[in-house]
Homo-oligomer: A and B are copies of this chain.
Amino acid sequence: MLHLPGSPEWQRVGSHSTVLDYHLSMLHDTARMDAFRRAINETVKPGDVVVDIGCGSGVLSFMACEAGASKVYAIEGGPVIEVARQLAIDNGFDDRIEFLAGWSIELGLPEPADVLISETLGNAAFDEGIAAWTFDARQRLLKPGAALIPERVRLWVASAETFDDHGVVADWLHPNLPYDYSFAHHHASKTLWMVDLTPNNILGQPELCADVDLHTSADEAIVGSGFVQVDRDGTMHGLACWFDSLLCRGVTVDNMPPRTGSSWSHGLLPLPEPVEVHAGDQFAWDISIAADGEEWRWSIDLVE
């Protein structure tokens, strides 16, 4: 018989494997990693105190150390923080990084920071709370005039024909289901979905839906209104959402379709029923995105 190296043992604790897989995909997103490294190298000065909100596996905190930070407070609300702690030790950063488990809005720091880093950019820009975390940090955790990475986040929307992706909503009405699932259909159609879009899925010109300067934004609803354009005939399944973000002067990151190798997907706000549309159609929308910690509410009214 063959001899195997070691005697493997396996353990299943909650959804730990899924958590690790998610962070691995972000670490392998070279566009994301390169952009953040450039922004950190250009922003963090030797001796700076840095706070990293939503540090995940700790990679941006490690970059901050290499850029010269004397101290990094790395805050993370999920179980991955235990992995990050060990990675900091293994990579020789544990003398400069202090990990804080929890949500930044519920924590204080022993000293105000010179730089805020927060990669809490959701597929649809604000759905991981970046505006709320940054506003709170500016008030409580940062020195006046502290540097922010990112500095600015923009949310884009476009009318979208998603083909199969609308199935997650429509399949609740499928005749093969044994009971009446219209409530689940209703529920599903009110939720932001993650989808992977290509330009073929986009029915019209993207519209800038929100443009938030994180240096000046306040903890109020992100509101706006405008029109969604339809530039070709098709079936509108919902509103596609994506972001672009200025990390620091000259350095941007985005998840504009098509994504190629990005760890971000795109957001989809599905319509309850697909709507046949034609080139020239327009829909008026109002948006209101309110942050209150972990929960986010979106409303976009599509009206005549």
A-to-B contact residues, CB < 8 Å:
1-14, 16-17, 20-21, 23-24, 27-28, 30, 33, 37, 57, 59, 62-63, 83, 86-87, 90-91, 127, 168, 171-172, 174, 176-184, 187-194, 269, 271-273, 275, 277, 281-284, 294-304
Q: Which of B3, B13, B189, B271 contacts A4 (CB 8 A)?
A: B271
Question: What is the total number of copies of this protein in its complex?
Answer: 2
Having A12-B191, A12-B296, A20-B184, one finds 19 other A-B pairs with CB under 8 Å, namely A1-B284, A1-B303, A2-B275, A2-B304, A3-B304, A4-B302, A5-B272, A8-B301, A8-B302, A9-B297, A9-B301, A10-B190, A10-B192, A10-B269, A12-B295, A12-B298, A16-B191, A17-B168, A20-B187
CA separation between A191 and B14, bound complex, in Å? 10
Question: Are A7 and B301 closer than 8 Å at their CB atoms?
Answer: yes
Beyond A174-B28, A187-B20, whether A192 also contacts B271 by CB under 8 A is: no
Q: State whether B4 touches A283 (Cβ < 8 A).
A: yes
Q: Can you report 15 A-B residue pairs in the complex whose CB atoms are below 8 A from each other?
A: A1-B281, A1-B304, A2-B275, A2-B277, A2-B283, A8-B271, A8-B301, A9-B190, A9-B301, A10-B300, A12-B298, A24-B172, A59-B179, A87-B183, A90-B179
A171 to B184, CA, bound (A): 37
Inter-chain contact B282/A28, CB cutoff 8 Å: no
A13 to B: closest C-beta gap in Å: 5
Q: Which of B86, B91, B184 contacts A87 (CB 8 A)?
A: B184
State in angstroms the CA–CA spacing of A16 and B1 once bound together.
48
Chain B residues near A184 (CB, 8 Å)?
20, 23-24, 57, 83, 87
Residues from chain B with a CB closer than 8 A to the CB of A174 are 28
Q: Is the CB of B176 within 8 A of A91?
A: no
Question: What is the CB-to-nearest-CB distance from A67 to chain B, in angstroms, rounded to a whole number?
Answer: 13
